[in-house]
Amino acid sequence: MNHYRPEFAAALRLLAQVSEAMVARGLRRPILVGGAAAEFYTTSALTTGDFDLCTFRQPELEEEMQKLGFVRPSGAGQMLKGWIHPGLALGFEVVAETPMDGAFDPETLVLVENTGAGAVVVISVEDLIADRMGQFASGSAPDRLDQARTLFRLQPALDRAYLAQRIREETAGDYGIEHLK
């Protein structure tokens, strides 16, 4: 864990606690996506502001988060769907029921063990790269290409066939794995 920022490591341990509580209820762990997944796969070379989660059981997840001290920020407007943990000054937000509108292979999800507090589930790095490429291709987030390239270069082993397929899908065929090199 010492390869990560202390704040990130603490947040991941909290997520592990929440995840294990879900399992104890007979439910699936939430899936970590977005910037926090990118921070995980780059050991904090990429950093994030909060943890984005996917779950079909948002009410139960938020119940478990409250048990661990998460609160709705005081004075928050109706726009706020996230939760913060005051002791650690970090935030979690359920952003969807499933990653990438379901356009991913569930068998590629990663169970990360030995976090210090249990296991967490993270979207695959291939899907994360494809997500970044899709945002880049949309023209709204030019910085995502550098992120995708960093993720690609850091991983010693990737399922290249799956990665190529997912990039094509997320960019409507405009980009491929060759744009990461």
Partner 1 sequence: MASNTSNSSPDGWTGRRLDMAEFGRRIAARKAELGLPDPPRNAGTNRTPSKRALLKAIEDAGGKW
- Among 119, 104, 98, 90, CA closest to 29: 119
Shortest distance, position 133 Cβ to partner 1, whole Å: 14
Query: Looking at 24, 77, 101, 178, which residue binds partner 1 (CB under 8 A)?
Result: 77
Q: Which stretch binds partner 1 (CB under 8 A): 53-61, 62-70, 73-81, 163-171?
A: 73-81
Q: How many residues bind partner 1 (CB under 8 A)?
A: 59
Q: What is the b/e burial string over 153-170, where b = at least 16 CB atoms within 10 angstroms of the residue's CB?
A: eeeeebeeebbbbbbbeb
Query: Looking at 20, 91, 169, 174, which residue binds partner 1 (CB under 8 A)?
Result: 91
Could you give the CA distance from residue 177 to residue 92 in angstroms, rounded to a whole number? 31
Shortest distance, position 119 Cβ to partner 1, whole Å: 8
Three-state DSSP at 1 gives: coil
Query: Looking at 14, 54, 62, 82, which residue binds partner 1 (CB under 8 A)?
Result: 82
Query: Looking at 89, 97, 172, 173, which residue binds partner 1 (CB under 8 A)?
Result: 89
> Exposed, middle or buried by CB within 10 Å (0-12, 13-18, 19+), for 143?
exposed
Is residue 165 close enough to count as binding partner 1 by CB under 8 A?
no
Largest distance between two CA atoms of the chain: 48
The identity of residue 14, as a single letter, is L
Is residue 84 close enough to count as binding partner 1 by CB under 8 A?
yes
Integer CA distances (angstroms), 174 to 30, 120, 153, in order: 31, 33, 21
Q: Give CA 138 to chain center in angstroms.
A: 20
Is residue 47 close enough to count as binding partner 1 by CB under 8 A?
yes
Query: Looking at 22, 33, 54, 90, which residue binds partner 1 (CB under 8 A)?
Result: 90
Residues of this chain that bind partner 1 (CB under 8 A): 1-4, 7, 12, 35, 41-43, 45-50, 73, 76-77, 79-82, 84, 86, 88-91, 93, 106-116, 124-125, 135, 140-141, 143-144, 146-147, 149-150, 153-159
